[in-house]
Amino acid sequence: MNKFDRHVKQNVRGYLEENISISERELSSIHQKIQNRRRSFNFAYISAFTVLSIILFISILPFIQHKQNLEFSPVPYSTKHAEEKEQPVERNINNTEDEPPLKEVEIEQEEIGEENIETEAEKEAKFLELLVKYNKLRDYKIEYNHSEVLELDKSTGYNVGYKIIGYKTLQEFSSQFSDFATTNAVSKMFHPLFENDEGLYLVATEHYRYLFEVDENYELTKIAENKYQITQTTQSDLGDHVFFNLWFEFTKIDGKWLITDWDSSEEITYEPEPEIEPEIISSILYTLGEYNLMSHSYFETSDDMVTLKNGKKAFKVRDFYTEFDFYNQFHLSVSKDVAENIWKEYILEQDGEIYILPSKYKYYYPIFDIDYGYEIKELEKGKYQVTQSYSNTYYSEIEDAIYNLSFVIENINDFYVITGFTYSIENN
């Protein structure tokens, strides 16, 4: 095919040279025109192509930029800008001690997230759960050996301690309460505990763990993000004037709320009663001595018993003929009402005579024993109350009986008279 083309081109060129005569000037002019037309066409084509390229580039540029700045999220229908991507943690491989492992960092971030989710109400509910467990310590009994006694330094403020059975250290003892309290808190709740090389000792004291009343008012205070305090003041069973103050500290440790500190105190809100004058106390004690002699010095009885109309046997009381006269003989120390209350079960009036049943001598009414402790307080001006409790089996069939006596004594015409008296007997 190429040979044929060359043959045709030679024949055409030969024909043109023989039949068409063109001067050099005309030929040059033709070539010049052809060249100019080619340049014009090329410029127009290049210019049009350039303009179209620019327009196209401007049109697709935003899409290119948007594609570069976006990445797909693992969550469907969610995207985020590249600037918001989590940057990798720069780690110094030459100093690994200063920086925690990546896994620990992730765990810390998860813990922070959990704290932010926990509401104040949820925290308060958790604190109350811990306080319910604290209340159970009230019934906890520590076993200790009475024979292993430790004499303490007087500077501690305590005398002796008894060795606790089953635990050698405070840490070991407090571990049984680790689900709600730290060792520091436990050591104060069971204060005082003393630890040495020989073991753990319970110090002899009157320490008392007050109950937290969940249903009573209390005050919750936020100290820090992971530290709170609860305080409560409740009335004591000892009386309306005695109050208990409780204080608890809660701290979040390793993601767990614990009681980390504890304290308590007792508060008395009344003024001490005024002292009673010694002369008045002396007069009151004299009256109680007269009360003790009611069946000894005030009257005499016959030596032999007689049988009454009701079939009972009794002793005849000399020099008294009516019950009123009998009761009235004590009026300077005991009122008629009190005397009648004491004697009415044992005094009988018959045919103008007074008789006393022998059981009165067998089961003698309780006396006031000045050798035992007693309490005297002023109820109002000129009126006093005397109370006493003591153990006495001599006059009672109850073994190890406890007598509880209460007297009301009033100043009547400069005489201190017993105007009220009650007593009870109970087992020891």
**Per-residue model confidence as pLDDT tens digits over 204-250:** 665 566 889 999 999 999 999 999 999 999 877 666 677 889 999 99
Distance CA 198, CA 152 (A): 13
- Domain residue extents for the chain: 118-271, 278-427
Distance CA 66, CA 78 (A): 15
What's the pLDDT band for 76 if we cut at 50, 70, 90?
very low
Query: What are the φ/ψ torsions at residue 155 (nearest 5 degrees)?
Result: -65, -20
Distance CA 288, CA 409 (A): 9
**Per-residue model confidence as pLDDT tens digits over 258-302:** 999 999 887 766 655 668 888 999 999 989 888 887 765 567 888
Q: Which tokens in the block code for residue 156?
A: 């501690």
Query: What are the φ/ψ torsions at residue 352 (nearest 5 degrees)?
Result: 75, 15
Per cent of the chain over pLDDT 90 is 23
Report how far Cα 112 is from the mean position of its chain's Cα atoms.
Answer: 25
Distance CA 174, CA 167 (A): 10
Question: What kind of architecture, by CATH, is found in domain 278-427?
Answer: Roll (3.10)
Please, are residues 315 and 356 in contact by the beta-carbon 8 Å criterion?
A: yes
Query: Order of strands, edge to edge, in the sheet holding 242-253?
Result: 219-224, 227-235, 242-253, 256-268
Q: Is the pLDDT of residue 98 over 60?
A: no
Q: Which tokens in the block code for residue 356?
A: 């006393």
Mean pLDDT of the chain: 75
**183-213 exposure pattern, b = at least 16 Cβ within 10 A, e = fewer:** bebbbbbbebbbbeeebbbbbeeeeebbbbb
What's the pLDDT band for 92 if we cut at 50, 70, 90?
very low
Residue from 224, 283, 218, 237 nearest 413 by CA: 283
Distance CA 250, CA 264 (A): 15
**Per-residue model confidence as pLDDT tens digits over 348-405:** 888 888 888 876 444 456 788 877 788 999 999 899 999 998 876 555 555 667 888 9
- Please calculate the CA angle 217-218-224 and round it to the nearest 5 degrees: 155
Distance CA 284, CA 411 (A): 9
Looking at domain 118-271, its CATH class is alpha beta
What's the pLDDT band for 341 if we cut at 50, 70, 90?
confident
